[in-house]
Amino acid sequence: MENGNKATEKGNKTTYSDNANAEEDMPLSIPYSTAASEFLYGSNVVLAALRAKRRRIHHLYVSRGAQDRSSESAGTIRNIFDLARRNEVPIEADASIKLLDKISGDRPHNGVILETSKLPAPPTLSLSKPDLKTSIIPVTLDRQSAEDISVNGAPSALSTSTKGWRYPFVIMLDGILDPANLGSVMRTAHFYGADAVAIATNTCAPLTSAVLAKASSGACEAVQLLALPKPANFVFDSAKAGWRIYASVAPMLPGQATARDVSRQTTTTAVSLDSPLARAPVILMLGAEGEGLRNNLTSKADHLISIEAEEKMNWDVDVGVDSLNVGVAAGVLIEAFMRKPATGTTAAEKARQGDLGF
């Protein structure tokens, strides 16, 4: 490209504009293709969205600097271009940094931004008994408009990755307002192979947040997401179908717990030694750091699980760190559940062979 020309691709065609330099001096407006468009930024997030094909893709913006073959992300950028061209995504191949900065809200974007539809997250009322032989979980959905169905679909069941020793495992999030924390939990859930992440839509950060997508490093494009319009009812109805409900809580001090709480208490150590996933499907509920889960959720849990910490030494300075960030806590908890029992054939394995259900 010479003389300030600007390259734009539509499908496999490239067009040129002579006004690139003039445009730099013009007031910038964000170029929405639709009123419901979202913008994803960062090469890893954009590549994940193109690979997953779960969203409708409207437009790809790439700066000239991002295409420098000497850059560390050059291979990723080539993959992004290849996928976009293969799927006939319109490409602006010489997007100005000023425009990309404005779209991303001055957050790091690596010179790559993708305009897309929303993430699919069907509004789910309850989960039914999983079918281990076909690896599906029947679901009951709330009503959706035709527009919502075009984004979320209207599945009657979820497919699971569970094929071995365990039953399905769903992470449920409530009260997590920081989109970075929400994205971090999604990344952890995807890494360990959780079957879905269910999100209380009225109390958590919106799934439309580009910060969430960036924090998840693209994992939000791969993990199955469920929106929960009625979280307490979701827990109650899923429990009736045989799901075991675990609520993550802070360790209780002596005298704090009621008799019922004491009977429901367990720890990450106990769970890691004998994972309940070997015997039944599990929903693990996580709340915000500090406030934790709401009472109307913890009251419906079969078990209250806490992370054990080593007894602290008598430090001279108390810096006030007495809990884990929810993203870190999620990793500790999920790892405990996903640890396969050391010996024996599990109930899940027998169920897959047709010997028993749950």
CATH number for the domain that contains residue 225: 3.40.1280.10
Residue 220 lies in a domain: yes
Residues 104 and 159 in one domain: no
Residue 3 lies in a domain: no
3-state secondary structure 33-102: CCCCCEEEECHHHHHHHHHHCCCCEEEEEECCHHHCCCCCCHHHHHHHHHHHHHCCCCEECCCCHHHHHH
Cβ neighbours around 273 below 10 Å, total: 12
Residues 222 and 271 in one domain: yes
**Count of structural domains within the chain:** 2
Q: 71, 86, 116 — which closes off a domain?
A: 116
Task: Identify which has the larger pLDDT, 163 or 332.
Answer: 332
Residues 56 and 181 in one domain: no
Residues 85 and 52 in one domain: yes
Residues 45 and 80 in one domain: yes
CA-CA-CA-CA dihedral for 29, 32, 33, 35, to nearest 10 = -140
Residue 95 has pLDDT above 80, yes or no: yes
Residue 252 lies in a domain: yes
Q: 76, 100, 116 — which closes off a domain?
A: 116
Q: How far apart are the first and last CA of the chain?
A: 65
**Rounded mean pLDDT, 212-235:** 95
> For residues 129 and 138, what is the distance between their CA atoms, to the nearest angstrom?
7
Residue 333 lies in a domain: yes
Closest by CA position to 203, among listed 292, 330, 328: 292
Determine which of 26-35, 95-104, 198-207, 324-333 has the lowest per-residue pLDDT on average.
26-35
Residue 70 lies in a domain: yes
> For residues 225 and 195, what is the distance between their CA atoms, to the nearest angstrom?
9
Position 353 scores a pLDDT of 74
CATH at 102? 3.30.1330.30
Element (H, E) at 6: strand 6-10
**Rounded mean pLDDT, 13-32:** 56
Residues 189 and 110 in one domain: no
Percent of the chain with pLDDT over 90: 62
Task: Identify which has the larger pLDDT, 304 or 292.
Answer: 304
For residue 136, give Cα distances in angstroms to 133, 140, 167.
8, 13, 11
Residue 247 lies in a domain: yes
Residues 71 and 89 in one domain: yes
**Rounded mean pLDDT, 16-35:** 62
Position 320 scores a pLDDT of 45
Residues 303 and 155 in one domain: yes
The residue range of the domain holding 172 is 124-310+322-353
**Rounded mean pLDDT, 292-301:** 93
Residues 221 and 191 in one domain: yes
Determine which of 155-159, 164-168, 287-291, 319-323 has the lowest per-residue pLDDT on average.
319-323
Q: Which stretch, 104-108, 130-134, 201-205, has highest mean pLDDT?
A: 201-205
Residue 280 lies in a domain: yes
Residues 59 and 195 in one domain: no
Residue 234 lies in a domain: yes
Tens of pLDDT, residues 26-53: 557 888 888 889 999 989 999 999 999 9
**Rounded mean pLDDT, 152-175:** 91
Q: 68, 92, 116 — which closes off a domain?
A: 116
Residues 136 and 83 in one domain: no
Residue 260 has pLDDT above 80, yes or no: no
Percent of the chain with pLDDT over 70: 84
310 confidence band (pLDDT: 50, 70, 90): low
Sign of the dihedral through C-alpha 156, 162, 165, 166: negative
Which distant-in-sequence residues (6+ apart) come within 8 Å of 336 by Cβ? 268, 269, 271, 272, 275
Radius of gyration over every alpha carbon of the chain, rounded to an integer in angstroms:
23
Say if CB 163 and CB 130 are below 8 A apart: no
Which distant-in-sequence residues (6+ apart) come within 8 Å of 185 by Cβ? 171, 173, 176, 197, 286, 326, 327, 330
